[in-house]
Amino acid sequence: MPTAARPLRAIVLLHAALVLAQAAFAGQFLAGDAAWVRLHELNAGIIHLVALVQLVVAILVWRPGRGPGWPALASLALLLAEELQMGFGYARVLALHVPLGVAIFGTTVAMLVGTRRLTRVDPARRPEPRATAQRQRDGGAAGGAAISGRGWWFRGSGW
């Protein structure tokens, strides 16, 4: 697992939460409460900043971290889509602003799922606990039985 994978997951989670809040703010505005458009605009700026940080951390996962390159590519695509989104919003082109917002949300959720896989520890690569390794070096527990991480097994008892 690349060193920056966990920070990337945290940033993507924050990004997804902000995008979800953005949709809620837009819904309140479209329902007729005009005060929510200011919060929608402020949140867009925060999302843009988080997307930029996400891109930097995704590049760190990819290049020095020797992780996959897809998070950097997806983060760049999200940053560019969010730039377009802000432009469409200020121009009041709702026919493009709303569907692009849905696509941004879907891409952010897909990244959230993907980064979960990126931060998962492979059980085959997980280091063995010291007690189990010590028992194996000593030839097992007393009485010919030893406890491993997968259950009971018997050594030298004819079973």
Q: What does the pLDDT look like over 80-137, one tens digit per residue?
A: 999 999 999 999 999 999 999 999 999 999 999 999 887 776 666 656 666 666 666 6
Closest by CA to 79, choosing from 102, 49, 103, is 49
- Contacts for 29 with CB less than 8 Å, ≥ 6 apart: 36, 37, 40
Confidence (pTM):
0.73
Please state, for a pLDDT cut of 70, what percent of the chain lies above it. Answer: 74
- Here the tokens at position 15 are 């990004």
Burial label, 66 (beta-carbon count in 10 A; 0-12, 13-18, 19+): exposed
For range 31-40, the mean pLDDT: 93
Average pLDDT, the chain: 84
**Mean pLDDT of all residues in 29-54:** 95
